[in-house]
Amino acid sequence: MPSDPTRLASLTDSCCAVTGLQWGDEGKGKVVDLITPGFDGVVRYNGGANAGHSVVVGDQRYALHLVPSGILYPDTRAIVAGGVVVDPDVLIKELDALAGRGVDVSGLVISDRAHVVMPYHKAEDELREQFLAESERQGASDVGADPAAWSGAGDKGASIGTTKRGIGPCYADKAQRATAIRVADLLRPDTLRERLRTICRVKNATLGGLAAGVPGHAAPAFEVDELLEWARNAGERLRAHVTDTTYLLHDMVERGERLLFEGANAALLDVDHGTYPFVTSSSTTALGIPAGTGLPSRHVGEVLGVMKAYSTRVGNGPMPTELFDDTGSKIRERGREYGTTTGRPRRVGWLDLVAVRYTAKLSGATGLAVMLLDVLAGFDELMVCTRYRLPDGTETERFIPDSATLEGVTPVYERLEGFAEEVVDARARADLPPRARAYLELIEREVGAPVRVIGVGPERSQVIAEEPVGV
């Protein structure tokens, strides 16, 4: 039976959020892609160019980092709200690439209050990570400790393993205020010069201090005139798109138009509720929508939580179900688990339902999208973590977002028989082998939300979207 996206129509009855329930890269792009045509606007509310997904429309594949996927549909507005941090270089490149392929980008709107990722933010992100890795290395050699303190992390230690897109330094400036630049400021180059004078002094001093702690790294020197020129060009290029998106969004909902909130990054990377400090710097759950858009939470409506059928993580920090063996390698290869933004091989592990149960609760998930189920075909057994064992031997069903404590837990698994059959051609839940269905039913039982979308392959059509059975 062919899957029919219109059977997800109830998701479009109100506004709807699509949000990642793990550590990112769950396949939100594919889900957004599937349901976007039913909405009047697609809204990004958090994060920046650290996110990335590809969207397929017709036979065309588009890689998007900042521009909401609504841009690809003539009747859907693409809105970048104030909670996003905008890197004009990435945004302009993305707009040019889209326009070059015949996409009308004139309808994109960007909040005048979104903060700007400046060139020195990217320099600081990179340098800070190097500085932290270096000081960790030095600290470890001082005390003879193992610098590989965090299990499975690539460049281990105090560094976060960021995407180096300037996200953390930009949000830090937003909180610092005096050194921040918002999109509206790009449109006022005359008043920007004075601010950039101060900012350059602060940034060059900070970056110089960090560079001094990284052997062989010259201190970067940012100049006012150069930055001003860059800002002026960016402002002129983006001017036609800049508006007060808060009023725009309120006007849209008052007219009864429906919005799709497209979460970036994912819940366990949330700055307040994730595995801090190994998180990104914004509110990545559906909780971030009101603050990031200016719309009260009653407008959020349905929340579709997107998860992989297993776990992955990029960057550092604890990951209780991480696999270091051949099973892990097999999942990585079958799932092509290499970062879209950085190309880094992703850390992989069994499905962690303690984590998903927690994040589904945070976002108020009314339904689940379980992606990449096809990757799990051909395994003799499938392990699903439903509890953690603490160092004192007690067990808990609750997630522990404190990284230092989470690092000490041992996953307690339910063992399920694997399914040998490939599922890439399944277009209805009934087409799946019984053991794959049992896997989904376990997820529904443990998380307490129905599975409404199932990803069964990389192609756009390889998806099961129907009203749920069970729960």
Return residues touching ligand IMP (CB under 6 A): 23-25, 50-51, 160-163, 165, 167-168, 265, 269, 280-281, 314-315
Shortest spacing between CB 284 and ligand IMP, in angstroms? 8
Shortest spacing between CB 274 and ligand IMP, in angstroms? 9
Shortest spacing between CB 126 and ligand IMP, in angstroms? 11
Shortest spacing between CB 234 and ligand IMP, in angstroms? 21
CB closer to ligand IMP out of 161 and 335 = 161
CB closer to ligand IMP out of 162 and 285 = 162
- Whole-angstrom distance between the N-terminal and C-terminal Cα of the chain? 22
CB closer to ligand IMP out of 87 and 466 = 87
Tokens 């129509």 found at? 9
Q: Which residues are catalytic?
A: 25, 53
Shortest spacing between CB 118 and ligand IMP, in angstroms? 15
Residue nearest to ligand IMP (CB): 315
CB closer to ligand IMP out of 245 and 280 = 280
Which two tokens mark 224? 């006012």
> Which class for 102: exposed (0-12), middle (13-18), buried (19 or more C-beta within 10 A)?
exposed
Tokens 């069964």 found at? 456
Q: Which residues pair with 454 in a beta bridge?
A: 370, 464
Taking alpha carbons only, the member of 256, 255, 250, 252 closest to residue 294 is: 250
CB closer to ligand IMP out of 25 and 374 = 25
The pairing of strands 381-389 and 395-396 is antiparallel
CB closer to ligand IMP out of 32 and 249 = 32
Shortest spacing between CB 276 and ligand IMP, in angstroms? 11
CB closer to ligand IMP out of 370 and 426 = 370
Shortest spacing between CB 182 and ligand IMP, in angstroms? 19
